[in-house]
């Protein structure tokens, strides 16, 4: 498999809703912790990344572009920001939230990504840190209320 080590930049292909707000797509990368013998436990871990501009933590997310499906955008953001590849699962939902910078409503879509591979090199390795943590820790540190809601939906889905 060939992995592009460049992040997409620019907003030429960015999707906007009919109110002029960006449409963004994110993922909650997750896995089950391995025990001492290398067997998969039922203890869930999720992967958060730091923001490019600060050390605040959140799930990977970014703009959904015109030349890709919402699923392709979700997978691309996970690869670019967190350096993980996996099986994208059914959408967790769609949220409207106010952009802190622009004061307008954005549309956010969130997906679970069951991580199969974690890369040593990835496009934003030098500008972000990635941290595996428990669901409780992620709920504590995640900066966005809508991402916390998506996390709760994921947990409910996985335990039912």
Distances (CA, A) of 156 to 122, 148, 152: 31, 12, 6
Rounded mean pLDDT, 103-123: 94
- Give the range among 33-37, 88-92, 103-107, 138-142 with minimum mean pLDDT: 33-37
Digit-coded pLDDT (tens) for 29-81:
999 988 778 787 888 999 999 998 888 999 999 999 999 999 999 999 999 99
Distance CA 46, CA 140 (A): 12
Question: Could you give the percent of the chain with pLDDT greater than 90?
Answer: 72
Rounded mean pLDDT, 120-143: 95
Q: Rounded to the nearest 5°, which phi and psi values hold at 113?
A: -130, 110
Distance CA 102, CA 112 (A): 27
Q: Is residue 111 within 8 Å of residue 25, measured between CB atoms?
A: yes
pLDDT of residue 124: 95
Residue 17 has pLDDT above 70, yes or no: yes
Domains of the chain, earliest start first: 23-159 (3.90.79.10)
Rounded mean pLDDT, 8-19: 78
Distance CA 160, CA 128 (A): 33
pLDDT of residue 101: 80
Q: Quick one: pLDDT band at residue 10, thresholds 50, 70, 90?
A: low
β-pair partners for 90: none
Residue 108 has pLDDT above 90, yes or no: yes
pLDDT of residue 41: 80
């Amino acid at each position: 498999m060939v992995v592009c080590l460049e992040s997409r930049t620019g907003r030429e292909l960015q999707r906007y809703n009919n109110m002029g707000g960006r449409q963004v797509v994110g993922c909650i990368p997750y896995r089950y912790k391995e025990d001492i013998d290398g067997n998969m436990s039922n203890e869930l871990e999720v992967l958060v990344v730091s923001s490019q501009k600060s050390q605040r933590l959140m799930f990977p997310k970014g703009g959904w572009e015109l030349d890709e499906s919402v699923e392709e955008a979700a997978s691309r953001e996970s690869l670019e920001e967190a350096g993980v590849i996996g099986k994208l699962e059914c959408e967790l939902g769609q949220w409207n939230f106010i952009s802190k910078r622009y004061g307008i409503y954005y549309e956010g879509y969130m997906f679970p990504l069951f991580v199969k591979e974690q890369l040593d090199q990835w496009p934003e390795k030098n500008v972000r840190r990635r941290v595996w943590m428990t669901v409780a820790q992620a709920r504590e540190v995640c900066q966005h209320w809508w991402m916390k809601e998506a996390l709760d939906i994921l947990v409910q889905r996985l335990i039912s």
